[in-house]
Amino acid sequence: AYIIFIAANLHQPHSFLWSRGVICTGCVPGLVLLCQFRDMKHLSPFSLLANCANVSALTIVLWQDWLSYELVHDDDNNTNDSGDDGGVGTIHAVQWKGFLHVMGITLYSMEGVGLILSLQSSAKDQPTFPYLLQVVLAGITLFMAFFGTAGYLAFGDATLAPVTLNLPPHNVAARWVKSALCVGLYLTYPVMMFPIWNISDAYVLKQQQQQQQ
């Protein structure tokens, strides 16, 4: 799914250079090499680059939200006498038709739970890891709540999922956001695969030992 997302986002601005199949194929060799690391500490530089890319992308999205919010409300003030709402529309507290979609995204967001034990085993100060985990999760939750609220205030009922679809398609900022998210996903992939390889290696080695006995 990560590779398909990367191909879909890179294909749009660079469709004249590469097809989606070429992009997917080109992603595989690098990921195969990155997935060979057997110590989480060796993946920390790539994780840091991924976090920097994600922070830059989210910052630009918030900036675009602010620009859209100012533009819409300036238009609303100028056209208030004509009854125009400025393009935002009615902001609903809850829209139940999207409940299943929200539940699906919520469950999908929990895919990183399997990394907790691997991160704790790689931590330098393991006794303080639970407290650090709680602080980080609380900070991410507050930021994501702010991020979602900002997007909804900027685009109202026209808000799309993901909110990057609301950005102008040929805007330089939008292209940077898509490219940065692709870099973040690409470098995060080996980290997400780390516990899977650990389980697979343990199973394969156990089978080989049983066969030798």
pLDDT in tens, 141-178: 899 889 888 888 888 777 777 777 777 777 788 888 88
Q: What one-character DSSP code corresponds to residue 34?
A: H
Instruction: Give the pLDDT confidence score for residue 194 in this predicted structure.
Output: 79
Instruction: Give the pLDDT confidence score for residue 49 in this predicted structure.
Output: 92
Q: pTM for this structure? A: 0.70
Cis peptide, bond prior to residue 162, ω within 30 of zero: yes
Per-residue pLDDT of the chain (213 residues; tens, 9 = 90+): 778 878 877 776 555 567 778 888 888 898 888 888 877 778 888 889 998 998 999 898 898 888 888 776 665 555 554 444 444 556 666 777 778 877 877 777 777 777 787 778 777 888 898 999 899 989 988 998 898 888 888 887 777 777 777 777 777 888 888 889 889 889 888 888 877 777 777 777 777 777 776
Q: CA-CA distances (angstroms) from residue 151 to 53, 82, 163, 194?
A: 20, 26, 7, 33
Instruction: Give the pLDDT confidence score for residue 82 in this predicted structure.
Output: 46
Instruction: Give the pLDDT confidence score for residue 85 in this predicted structure.
Output: 47
Backbone angles phi, psi at 36, to 5 degrees: -80, -15
Q: Which residues, 6 or more positions from 126, have their beta carbon under 8 angstroms from its beta carbon?
A: 120
Q: pLDDT exceeding 70 applies to what percent of the chain?
A: 85
